[in-house]
Amino acid sequence: MLGGKPRQQAIGHVIGIFAGALACVPLFFLLFLQRMPTACVRWANMVSEQFAFPAALQWKGVAEIIARGVSALPYTAIVSMIVAAVSAAAIEIAKIVTRGRFPLSAVSIGLGVVLPPEATFAMFVGALLFWIMGRRHPVKGTRGNEFWVEGLERSAPGSFPAPR
């Protein structure tokens, strides 16, 4: 989207890895490890209302499913997974039957269920802004259309159809 070559993108990723490590390791130490004796350092001591770690807990759940199998899940979780799978299949079949005109997106609904509300709300506001600006700048080749429509990078797949 920005015109960077794959080599430049790879260099940017490497710089980001080192910058992230240099920033995160000291911050993690200050926030969690400094106040705990070495014997008490466990994930259970770190998760609190102040630091919920929702993504880490979700991946912990995935690791437990892989380690123990689906049978270790509560019955309601299995029923929820079946309902979600059937709903997603129905949405995708409806998209195929209506040739892409069905307004719902299984990916967007799935993200809305998994991500925290503030993240999904931010994606909604961003998609709404781009949709409105796409309606205000419909003429191809204009500066507004180039910026708001052609430069659109979807972060919430299927949230709003591209303006026509």
Residues 3-19 pLDDT 10s: 778 888 889 899 999 99
Q: Give the residue carrying structure tokens 């509300």.
A: 117
Residue bearing the bigger pLDDT, 5 or 85 = 85
- As a whole number of angstroms, the distance between CA 66 and CA 59 comes to 10
pLDDT, tens digit, 9 for 90 and up, residues 34-56: 666 665 556 566 677 777 777 77
Determine phi and psi for 35, rounding to 5 degrees. -90, -5
Buried b (16+ CB within 10 A) or exposed e, 145-161: beebbeebeeebebbbe
Give residue 159's pLDDT: 46
Q: Token pair for residue 140?
A: 């191809």
Give the pLDDT band of residue 98 (cuts 50, 70, 90). very high
Other beta carbons less than 10 A from residue 47's beta carbon: 15
Give 101 or 41, the one with higher predicted confidence.
101
Instruction: Dihedral sign for Cα 44, 46, 52, 58, please.
Output: negative
Q: Where are the domains of the chain?
A: 1-46
Please give the Cα distance from 120 to 128 (Å, whole number).
12
Q: Among 40-44, 88-92, 110-114, 142-146, which range has the highest average pLDDT?
A: 88-92
